Amino acid sequence: MDVILITLDMHLRTTLNKILTFQTITCKAFEQFTKIKPLIDNNSESIIFLDDRFQGSLEILYYLIENYPKNKIVLLVSSDKVKPTIISEGQLIFATRPIDNSILKILKTKISDKVIPQKDELDDILIGSSEAIVKIKKTIRKLSQTDYNVFLYGDTGTGKDIIARAIHNLRYPSKALITANCSLLEGQLMDSLLFGHTKGSFTGAYENQIGLIEKAKDSTLFLDEIEEFSKNGQAKLLRLLENGEYRVIGDPKIRYTKFSLITASNIDYKELLTTKLLRKDFFHRISNIKIYIPPLRERIEDIPQLTYYYERKQGYTDYIAEFDNLFTYSWPGNIRELFSVIDRVHFYNSKQLIPTSELIEN
C-alpha cells in the first residue's frame, strides 16, 4: 500500500516518511499535485495525506473526494487552529499536526482499515465528521426506532431545523414534516394554528381550519423557538401529550391523535427553566431526549465538508481554493454565516480565496 503525502514542509515529509514506513506501507512525498494523479489512478488503496497549508489544498480535497471515493484522505491541520485530535468517518480522516505518538497510534489503525462505510441518507443531510456531529448522528439513528419527543438547543444558525428534518426523515420517510415557528404567532392565533378552528368560532374565523396537530397525525410536528410559546399554549399542548386529547376551537367534541414532537430553542434549557420561559412539567414532557448542537467554532473540522457540500448544492463550478481563514474565524453566525460568506466570495472573487475582510462581523 502506498502513502502519498502532499506538502511543501520538508520536516513533515521527513517525519511522516519515518513513522509511516510500517508493515507493507511506503511513503512518497510530492510538491505538485499533477505528479500525484497518475499514481492514484493506478492504486485505489493508496492513503493520501494532504497538508492544509499546500496551495489550493481545499480544491484538491474536493477533487479527491469527488474522483477517488475509495481512497482514504488524511487532512492535516495545525493544532494551533484546533485542539489536537483525530477524527474519522469513512473516507476523510481529519488529523492535527504535529503528529504525536497518541495520534500516530490511532492513525495507524484508521489508515490500515480498508473498509470505508457506505453513506446513508443521514450523511447527505447532516454534513460533518467532527466528534459532536458523529455523536448526533448516532443519536438520530437510535431515535429512528422510537417516537420519543426531542428537544434541540444551540445557537442561531447551527442547523436545528436540519437535524429536526433528519430525525423525521428516518422515522417517517413517506410523511410530511409539519413545522411552525412559535415566535410568529401568539395567543389565539397560535392556538388556532395548532388545534384548528371552526367557522365563526372567533372574529376572523371565516372558514373551518385544520390544525397542525391533525396534519401531523402519525408523523412529526416541529415547533421552533419554543421559548416564545405562551404559558396557556404550553398547558394545552401538555394535556394533549399526556392523554392524546384535544379540542378544535369552537367544537366541544374531544378528538384523539398521536404524533412525534420535536421542539427547538437557541436558549440553553437550564436558562429556559430558571427564567420560567417554559413550564417545568411541559419541558419534561417535550424533552425525552435532549440534543445540543454546538456552534461552528467548536467543530471547525467540519468546515471543509460543509463548504464542499454547499458549493455543490449551489452549482458552483470553481471551488474555494484555500481555507486557512475559515479555521481561525469565530463564526458568530455559525453555518448560516459560512454559507453567506461562500456566496459572497463566489460573487466578488474569481480566484475563490477568502480575504480576511470578508470574515469581519458587520
Are domains 2-121 and 297-359 of this chain identical in fold? no
Distance CA 251, CA 255 (A): 10
Residue with the three cell numbers 456531529: 133
What is residue 14's predicted lDDT score, i.e. its pLDDT? Answer: 74
**Between 337 and 75, residue with greater pLDDT:** 337
What pLDDT is attached to residue 308?
82
Cβ(44)–Cβ(70) under 8 Å?
A: yes
Between 189 and 274, residue with greater pLDDT? 274
pLDDT band at 31 (very low <50, low <70, confident <90, very high): low
Residue 168: name the closest of 121, 201, 107, 204 by CA. Answer: 121
pLDDT tens column, 263-276: 999 999 999 999 99
Q: How far is CA 68 from CA 34, 60, 72, 157, in A?
A: 15, 11, 9, 32
The contacts of residue 138 (CB under 8 Å, 6+ apart) are: none
pTM: 0.76
pLDDT value at residue 72: 80
User: What is the per-residue DSSP string for 197-217?
Assistant: E-TTSSTT--S-EE-HHHHTT
Does the domain made of 297-359 have the CATH classification 1.10.3470?
Answer: no
CA distance 344 to 122: 28
pLDDT for 362 equals 46
Find cell 467543530 and name the residue: 299
Mean pLDDT taken over the chain: 81
Of 18-27, 174-183, 221-230, the one with minimum mean pLDDT is 18-27
Residue 156 CA to residue 342 CA, distance in Å, equals 18
User: Distance (Å, rounded) from C-alpha 99 to C-alpha 81?
Assistant: 14
Please tell me which of 309-313, 334-338, 343-347 the model is most confident about, judged by mean pLDDT. 334-338
Higher pLDDT, 147 or 304: 147
Q: Which residue's entry shows cell 497538508?
A: 51
DSSP string for 165-197: HHHHHHH-TTSPEEEEETTT--HHHHHHHHHEE
Question: 101 pLDDT exceeds 70?
Answer: no
pLDDT beyond 80 at 161: yes
Domain residue ranges of the chain, discontinuous segments joined by +:
2-121, 131-292, 297-359
Average pLDDT of the residues in 78-96: 62
Quick one: pLDDT band at residue 9, thresholds 50, 70, 90?
confident
* CATH fourth-level superfamily of 131-292: P-loop containing nucleotide triphosphate hydrolases (3.40.50.300)
Q: What is the DSSP string of 222-279?
A: EEESGGGS-HHHHHHHHHHHHHSEE--BT----EE---EEEEEESS-HHHHHHTTSS-
What CATH code is assigned to 2-121?
3.40.50.2300
Question: Which of 54-58, 225-229, 254-258, 349-353 is predicted least confidently?
Answer: 349-353
Question: For residues 232 and 154, which has the higher predicted lDDT (pLDDT)?
Answer: 154
pLDDT value at residue 320: 67
User: Exposure pattern of 38-65 as b/e (b: 16+ CB <10 Å)?
Assistant: eebeeeeebbbbbbbbbebbbbbbbebb
Top pLDDT among 113 and 196 is at: 196
Q: For residues 346 and 125, what is the distance between their CA atoms, to the nearest angstrom?
A: 23
Residues 13, 14, 18, 20, Cα dihedral to 10°:
0
CA dist., res. 208 & res. 198, Å (int):
4
CA angle 231, 232, 234 (to 5 degrees): 60
* pLDDT(103) > 60: yes
